[in-house]
């Protein structure tokens, strides 16, 4: 089971902030997970937007990053506070 988090505008698409998922074995990278989740949430393309970064266990990483050992995967639209 992996914990998947959705932030910012993505929560409007997913309707949830986080979920625990059993992923198919063929989903080996962060990029493959992005594609799989996008299809799951109606193929809006929101998760595929290049401005949405992915973090594995609180470290920003690339779509090519393997997720086999990951516990928590977060999808992060552009950030900004203040």
Partner 1 sequence: MLVVSSDPIHTSQALRAFETRAPNAGGIVSFSGQVRGQSDLGQVRMLHLQAYSPMTENGITKAIETANARWALEAVQVNHRIGDIAPGETIVFVATASKHRRAAFEAADFLMDYLKTEAVFWKKETIDTGTHWIEPRAEDYTDASRWIKRDQG
CB nearer partner 1, residue 1 or residue 82: 82
CB 9 within 8 A of CB 80: no
CB 31 within 8 A of CB 69: no
The reply on whether position 13 binds partner 1 by CB under 8 A is no
Size of the site for partner 1 (CB under 8 A): 16
Contacts of 50 (CB under 8 A, 6+ apart): none
The reply on whether position 64 binds partner 1 by CB under 8 A is no
Which positions touch partner 1 (CB under 8 A)? 5, 7-9, 12, 17, 55, 58, 74, 76-82
């Amino acid at each position: 089971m992996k914990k998947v988090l959705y932030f910012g505008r993505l929560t409007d698409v997913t309707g949830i902030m986080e979920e625990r998922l059993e992923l198919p074995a063929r989903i080996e990278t962060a990029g493959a997970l992005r594609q799989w989740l996008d299809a799951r949430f109606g193929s809006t393309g929101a998760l595929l937007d290049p401005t949405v970064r992915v973090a594995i266990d609180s470290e920003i990483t690339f779509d090519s990053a393997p997720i086999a050992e990951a516990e928590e995967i977060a999808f992060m639209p552009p950030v900004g506070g203040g």
